[in-house]
């Protein structure tokens, strides 16, 4: 069964084809970074317009690359939420229209379920149950994953997501967009012990996160170190970036280890854009190994938004699809815990 996957939740247009035992047949991605860079962040209207321009050509190219004809598709999976509502509507409308025309199911996929399942695309995937850290620009959550659609959020951010904090610190330091990779790059030449930033909520017996206080501490540190011309030298920027990254990573690692201890699990899955951070990967691996646990990641290109995870999640949920599609689903806010398992489990 070949499933076409479409991802348009934010600022990347993705198209992929997944076919069960044959695996991933095609995976194409167009990033809008250059469009949004001059604004220092995603402009929703521009994102929606560009999805509309790029989606059809990407679908044509993906089908050609995979050698699959439209008539061979058996379902179209698309990101139904959460995300930017205009961007979601572009992908949802296209997917449902195509599915209706082909008289095949259209499957609305939860974006974060796609991230949770992304490691399943690797040669050595994790097995259920596991603890998952979903960490990106919009989400920071610890989720107990007992099986497909069986999710329980154990902890979540009370304010800023970790990726959002990285982006805001990058702006404070005058670094380029997107901020996360730029902060990590600047931190490579900095001293992570130069400034002792707070490790939020580690003193509380909780699996929740908070990054607003850390962000404020960084802002105050920057203001106190600015020269008379309001600029920062390269060394100071690097020290601030390294110290912030160390605080954020320490917090994420500590919460993950607390989650493993509280659940008794020995498998941790890390997904989302911040999951590509090398310092986070190193420290999580070391901390987990010390506990006899193992950490699984998708490859770096599957940490960020992509259509491969949407196509795979749609393939897993094909049993609950309707043909032709009964409704177009675009849900900007969608709780992961609201999902349930599909009517028939699929391996």
* Model confidence at 345: pLDDT above 50: no
Q: How far apart are CA 56 and CA 93, in angstroms?
A: 12
* DSSP one-letter code for 31: E
Can you tell me the mean pLDDT for 249-255? Answer: 97
Could you tell me how far CA 82 lies from the centroid of its own chain?
A: 11
Distant-in-sequence, close-in-space partners of 193: CB < 8 Å, separation ≥ 6 = 243, 246
Q: Which pLDDT belongs to residue 227?
A: 66
Domains of the chain (ranges, CATH numbers): 2-117+303-338 (3.30.420.40), 129-297 (3.30.420.40)
The end-to-end CA distance of the chain, in Å, is: 13
Q: Which pLDDT belongs to residue 344?
A: 55
H or E element at residue 133: strand 130-135
Rounded to whole angstroms, the maximal C-alpha distance in the chain is: 67
pLDDT tens-place string over residues 215-232: 999 999 999 888 666 678
Decide if 36 contacts 314 (C-beta within 8 A): no
pLDDT tens-place string over residues 169-186: 999 999 998 899 999 999
User: Which residue is associated with the tokens 């201890």?
Assistant: 261
3-state helix, strand, coil in the chain (%, to 5): 45, 20, 35
Number of neighbouring beta carbons within 10 Å of residue 263: 17
Decide if 242 contacts 194 (C-beta within 8 A): yes
Least confident of 10-24, 178-192, 283-297, 333-347: 333-347
Which token pair is 46?
């521009």
pLDDT tens-place string over residues 79-103: 999 999 999 999 999 999 999 999 9
Q: Which pLDDT belongs to residue 53?
A: 97
Q: Which pLDDT belongs to residue 57?
A: 98
Q: How far apart are CA 148 and CA 151, in angstroms?
A: 8
The per-residue pLDDT of the chain, averaged, comes to 93
Which token pair is 171?
């702006």
Which token pair is 268?
């941790």
Can you tell me the mean pLDDT for 308-327? Answer: 85
* DSSP one-letter code for 157: B
Q: Which pLDDT belongs to residue 228?
A: 60
pLDDT tens-place string over residues 96-148: 999 999 999 999 999 999 999 999 999 999 999 999 999 998 889 999 999 99
Confidence of residue 21 (pLDDT cuts 50, 70, 90): confident
Q: How far apart are CA 266 and CA 257, in angstroms?
A: 10
* Model confidence at 203: pLDDT above 90: no
* Model confidence at 313: pLDDT above 70: yes
Which token pair is 61?
């190219």
Decide if 324 contacts 88 (C-beta within 8 A): no
Least confident of 44-58, 249-263, 287-301, 321-335: 321-335
Confidence of residue 204 (pLDDT cuts 50, 70, 90): confident
């Amino acid at each position: 069964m070949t499933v076409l996957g479409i991802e348009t939740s934010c600022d990347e247009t993705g198209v992929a084809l997944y076919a069960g035992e044959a695996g991933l047949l095609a995976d194409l991605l167009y990033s809008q970074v250059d469009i949004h860079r001059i604004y220092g962040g995603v402009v929703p209207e521009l994102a929606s317009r560009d999805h509309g321009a790029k989606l059809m050509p990407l679908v044509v190219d993906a089908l050609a690359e995979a050698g699959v004809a439209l008539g061979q598709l058996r379902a179209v999976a698309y990101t139904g939420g959460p995300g930017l509502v205009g961007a979601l509507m572009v992908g949802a409308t296209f997917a449902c229209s195509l599915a209706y025309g082909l008289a095949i199911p259209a499957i609305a996929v939860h974006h974060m379920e796609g991230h949770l399942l992304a490691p399943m695309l690797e040669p050595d995937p994790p097995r259920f149950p596991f603890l998952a850290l979903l960490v990106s620009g919009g989400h920071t959550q610890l989720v107990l994953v007992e099986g497909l659609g069986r999710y329980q959020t154990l902890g979540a951010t009370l304010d800023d997501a970790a990726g959002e904090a990285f982006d805001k610190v990058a702006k404070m330091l005058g670094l380029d967009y997107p901020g996360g990779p730029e902060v990590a790059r600047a931190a490579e030449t900095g001293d992570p012990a130069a400034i002792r930033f707070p490790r939020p909520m580690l003193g509380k017996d909780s699996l929740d996160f908070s990054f607003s206080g850390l962000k404020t501490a960084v802002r105050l540190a920057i203001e106190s170190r600015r020269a008379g011309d309001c600029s920062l030298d390269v060394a100071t920027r690097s020290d601030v970036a390294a110290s912030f990254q160390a605080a954020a990573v320490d917090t994420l690692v500590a919460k993950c280890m607390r989650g493993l201890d509280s659940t008794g699990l020995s498998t941790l899955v890390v997904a989302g854009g911040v999951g590509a951070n090398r310092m986070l990967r190193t420290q999580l691996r070391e901390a987990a190994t010390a506990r006899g646990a193992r950490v699984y990641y998708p490859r770096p290109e599957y940490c960020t938004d992509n259509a491969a995870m949407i196509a795979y999640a749609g393939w897993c949920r094909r049993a609950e699809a309707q043909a032709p599609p009964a409704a177009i689903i675009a849900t900007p806010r969608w709780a992961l815990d609201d999902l349930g398992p599909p009517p028939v489990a699929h391996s």
